Structure 1
Amino acid sequence: MRHAPLKTIAALSIAAAFGGFAATAIREGLDAPAKAEPPAATAVPAMATLPAAVDGQMLPSLAPMLQRVTPAVVSVHTKQRVRIRNPFADDPMFRRLFPQVPQERINQSLGSGVVVDAAKGLVLTNHHVIEGADEVSVTLSDGRTFPATFVGSDPDTDVALMKIQADNLVALPVANSDQLRVGDFVVAVGNPFGFSQTVTSGIVSAVGRSGLPGMGYQNFIQTDASINPGNSGGALVNLRGELVGINTATFNPQGSRAGDIGIGFAIPTNLAGNVMRQLADTGEVRRGSLGMETQTVDDKLAQGLGLDAARGTVVTRVYPNSPAAAAGVQVGDVVLSANGQRMDSREALHNFEGLQAVGSEVELDVRRGATPLKLKAPLREQPRSYDGAVLDTRLAGATFAELPERLKQSGLGGVLVSNVARGSRAAQNGLKKDDVVLAATSGEFSDLGGFRASFAQAPQRLVLRVLRGNARGDLPMQ
């Protein structure tokens, strides 16, 4: 079931911090402020003061630590060629009279990155920093610039990996980000607003932060260290100079241009490291799934299920031959926690699944009626796409894929039409690449697995409800 949109009381702006092609947007298409309800009382972040000593040694200044850290933090420069749409460009007479009229322009942007393997020249940054770039170069703190080779990226966690060929690189040691505690001191290093390396300090304000609209899988470190446009992909380090996070976003109710207010977010290194290793090995990221659909338990559902409080997520469908089915999960079960982590909503469980390694075992704390149960299931890899002909011959020629995670977190449910073959049956029926299928007469679904399961029995009449741009409509499939 799709979760309800957030109530509009104040315009909240989640801006990537930043370095992508739109320095004030986390993702393409998110320039408009997101709507959310602010808390009743907004706490003002406390100003951080440094401790007198770390590991028994006096630390009157961060300079000695930063001398080791800053050589590993780099500037990431991107160029994107954008064709200029000139209505007269196809006129031969116009081209003869004005041969020098440019047919394309070059968009340039600046972000940050972190050298994580000096021997291999691996540089970690944000996906939105290099998204759509035709050329990427990396400038080291000593002024040397090198072209970067794209290794792979994962839009759903906003992690990208590049490679450069350079001597005398310095890499940052990586800490266990699971050991971070609220109140730990951290330092952010990056290249905000096009300036050269800039350092800001603060504390860890929260860990495991999620629920940010317009983002992908979320498990952020929140910090009051200033993070600004251009900091994206830069380093968040502890006082030992170890990498604990990759800076990715900032938050301001007045919009990103209003300046930093001490609420920034970083991807923890344990998450980024897992994604990086998969990208380095295969160039792509594999994700697991339990194979079930759920719905957030609200007050009405809690009363109907006999629960003391509205928490957890109730199972509404279990896919055949799925890990959930093998574990004995049943429709009507209420999932309260997974591997000891509270699951207070459908989104929390979905986020948890997407951040676990394929093959890892998940222990679910389940309430079935009045009976508490513990069920174990190994995560299996999620299919990345389905050929329409496998689902239904009326969809032949179309390929269906999962929606980008940022769209799911914004409240959209359905599947993406990732490709339509020219002249195919799907094309003749009006389907187009990048359409979002929101609903179908085949049955209810909210994701790719549910879409596949809805075709267990072919519907006599197949109609797809499609979102194309900002327009919605129904397409009969003949």
Structure 2
Amino acid sequence: MHKYHRTHWLLYSILLIFVGLVIGLILSAHYGLIQFGQARDSQPVPPKVTEQLAQTGQAFVEIAKAVTPAVVNISTLIKTPSQQASPFFDDPFFRRFFGDEFLRESEPKKRPSLASGVIVSSDGYIVTNNHVVDNAEQIKVFLSDKREFKAKLIGADPKTEIAVIKIEENSLPTIVWGDSDKLQVGEFAIAVGNPFGLNQTVTMGIISAVGRANVGIADYEDFIQTDAAINPGNSGGALVNIRGELIGINTAIFSQSGGYQGIGFAVPSNMVKSVMDSLIKSGKVTRGWLGVSVQQLNSELANQFGLKEARGALVNDVVKASPAEKGGIQRGDVIISVNGKHIENAAHLRNTIAQTPIGTKVKIKVVRDKTEKELDVIIGELPKDTAKLGRGIEKEDSDIYKNVFTNIKVENVTADIARQLELPSNTKGVIVAYVEPGSPAAEAGMRRGDVIQEINKKRVNNASDYRNIVSKIKKDDTALLLINRRGNTLYLTITPD
């Protein structure tokens, strides 16, 4: 009996231990104290992605698929000019050590170059940059499917950095044109090209700025600025929007290292298409012409001409018998719109007129004497040489004196002075003989040799006119001056001491 109780107690103890272990395991698992399956490889859990983000990512994939077949790799063989040997090598000492063969004038060399282009028609027309094909003796095009073609140059326009080449092939993939005028800062931008020969490279960024001018790349500048990575070899490639539409041709980068630093420039698609159509049609570019010289506005000039903000293009000269003169545009007008399109600055006006078809009647809105006025002007064709147009002339006597602008000295223009300053011998006005450094006139930008032709919109024919006008200017008044600088006119605002 005693043995039975001892056995029973042992079984009961084992049962209690077992139940305790089971309960402990259950509680440990519940509170995360034990992880099951540690013997197996852990499976990574993908992060939760919103449907909207997934759709955006897929959109970029689709854009790349649609655009890359229309972007080509361009290989050129460019002839570089010969280099004259140094005159030091004529010395017998150098001839003895290097030999005549080394000292000969170096022969012209040929260097390969890689860049990009965009197919714009199914029958083989391709847009690229002018510098890509400039002086090229041979142009080869490589398609995304690895096919290779020889290309011929249709035309190039250094003034916009655009060129058109053609390959003999049909049924080629093309790209959809976008409207670059509708671009807004902050939009997505996708660059496609062949940087460093790496085919079909796609990079993404945003539109950093539009209407960039005075960059120093081309004569007609209206660049799109983007931070989408653009590197050597991207020149001539496509810049597209989120819809896969061509909005620009990648052209240049701003860099101190030669590589990508977050600032790239593209010629806007509307300018590209205008130049391309002209090159394909005639092999050259014909541009619209208004016949005015314009300058940028600043806040002082804007105030003088009755503008609330410094937007528009200030007319500082009108060419005789030009479309502008025939249409009634006058010096001192501020052009604020063309066919209802607002004009931001002088470069914007220049580009707008250049892209307007010759013979088109446009409505130009100007501010004249602080009042808006609309004029009808028929756009002409830009002459080949506009440098000598519109210079007015009359001879004056000499009369040196010190004027009420105490830091400026002027004198009448003589034929000898005019010749030295490359002005017509009978130029009207008074010439600035001296400007004191640091004076209000110097700060405003006046230089020695400038010819003052108007003050506060009153004509200055000679020193007597000048003296009469400036004597009526009060001490704290701002004066508006029209000056002629080596044949070009511009406005300055000066506050006398």
TM tier relative to shorter chain: 0.5 to 0.7
In the alignment, which residue of structure 1 is the partner of 2:437? none
User: What amino acid is aligned across from residue 441 of structure 1 in structure 2?
Assistant: P
Tell me the CA shift for residue 308 of structure 1. 5.2
Tell me the CA shift for residue 98 of structure 1. 3.9
SS in 1 for 2:118: strand
Q: 1:180 to 1:316 in 2, by over 3 A?
A: closer
Q: 1:106 to 1:175 in 2, by over 3 A?
A: same
Report whether the alignment pairs 1:134 with 2:137.
yes
Q: Distance in 2 between matches of 1:51 and 1:280?
A: 45
In the alignment, which residue of structure 2 is the partner of 1:105? 109
In the alignment, which residue of structure 2 is the partner of 1:378? 378
Tell me the CA shift for residue 124 of structure 1. 0.6
Cα-to-partner distance string for 1:17-42 (whole Å, 9 max, x where unaligned):
xxxxxxxxxxxxxxxxxxxxxxxxxx
In the alignment, which residue of structure 2 is the partner of 1:208? 211
Q: What 5-or-longer segments of structure 2 have no aligned partner?
A: 1-48, 392-419, 429-485, 488-497
Greater per-residue strand proportion: 1
| Total equivalences in the alignment | 345
In the alignment, which residue of structure 2 is the partner of 1:326? 326
Q: Spell out the pairing of 1:307-322 with structure 2 (5 A cutoff).
A: 310-322=310-322
Q: Distance in 2 between matches of 1:239 and 1:51?
A: 18
SS in 2 for 1:329: coil
Cα-to-partner distance string for 1:302-331 (whole Å, 9 max, x where unaligned):
555455555544333322322212221222
Q: 1:334 to 1:181 in 2, by over 3 A?
A: closer
Tell me the CA shift for residue 276 of structure 1. 0.8
Q: Distance in 1 between matches of 2:276 and 2:304?
A: 44
Tell me the CA shift for residue 234 of structure 1. 0.4
SS in 2 for 1:150: strand
Q: Spell out the pairing of 1:68-467 with structure 2 (5 A cutoff).
A: 68-82=66-80, 83-86=82-85, 98=101, 103-119=107-123, 121-166=124-169, 169-252=172-255, 255-257=256-258, 259-298=259-298, 301-302=301-302, 304-305=304-305, 310-343=310-343, 345-385=345-385, 439-441=422-424
Q: 1:339 to 1:263 in 2, by over 3 A?
A: farther
Q: Distance in 2 between matches of 1:123 and 1:50?
A: 40
In the alignment, which residue of structure 1 is the partner of 2:413? none
SS in 1 for 2:275: helix
Cα-to-partner distance string for 1:258-304 (whole Å, 9 max, x where unaligned):
x4233222222222111111111100111111112234444554555
Cα-to-partner distance string for 1:179-209 (whole Å, 9 max, x where unaligned):
4333332321111122222110122233333
Q: Distance in 2 between matches of 1:438 and 1:70?
A: 55
Q: Distance in 1 between matches of 2:188 and 2:364?
A: 34
Q: Report the TM-score when normalising by structure 2.
A: 0.60
Cα-to-partner distance string for 1:322-346 (whole Å, 9 max, x where unaligned):
2212221222323233334444544
Q: 1:50 to 1:293 in 2, by over 3 A?
A: farther
Which sits farther off after the overlay, 169-178 or 282-291?
Answer: 169-178
User: What amino acid is aligned across from residue 227 of structure 2 in structure 1?
Assistant: D
**Is the Cα contact below 8 Å between 2:85 and 2:103 reproduced in 1?**
no
Q: 1:280 to 1:441 in 2, by over 3 A?
A: same
Identity between Structure 1 and Structure 2 (%): 41
Which entry has the higher C-alpha Rg, 1 or 2?
A: 2
User: What amino acid is aligned across from residue 68 of structure 1 in structure 2?
Assistant: A
**Is the Cα contact below 8 Å between 1:84 and 1:105 reproduced in 2?**
no
**Is the Cα contact below 8 Å between 1:50 and 1:185 reproduced in 2?**
no
**Is the Cα contact below 8 Å between 2:337 and 2:365 reproduced in 1?**
yes
